[in-house]
Homo-oligomer: A and B are copies of this chain.
Amino acid sequence: MMRPLLLAAAALLLIAAAPPSPADILASAPAADWADIPATDLLVMDLAGNRRVVIQLAPAFAPTHVANIRTLVADGWFPRHAAIVRAQENYVVQWGDPTAKAPLPAGIAAQPADGYERPGLPPGFRALPFADAYGARIGHAGGWPVASDDGKHWLPHCPTMVGVGRDMPPDTGTGAELYAVIGHGPRHLDRNIALVGRVVQGMDHLSTLPRGTGEIGFYTSAAERVGITAMRFAADLPAAERPAFQLLRTDAASFALWVDARANRRDGFFIRPSGGADICNLLPPLRPAGQARK
Contact = CB atoms under 8 A, between A and B. Distances in A.
A93 to B, nearest CB: 11
Nearest to A185: B184
Interface residues of A, number: 50
A192 B159 contact: no
A265 interface: yes
Contact of A210 (B168, B208, B275): B208
A192 B264 CA distance: 12
B89 A204 contact: yes
A246 interface: no
A275 B266 CA distance: 34
Interface of A: 89-90, 113, 116, 130-135, 138, 158-160, 168, 170, 182-188, 190-192, 203-204, 207-211, 262-263, 265, 268-281
Given A184-B278, A192-B272, 5 more contacts: A132-B276, A133-B279, A135-B275, A191-B271, A191-B274
12 contacts: A89-B204, A116-B272, A132-B133, A132-B276, A135-B275, A168-B268, A183-B184, A183-B207, A184-B280, A191-B271, A207-B208, A278-B278
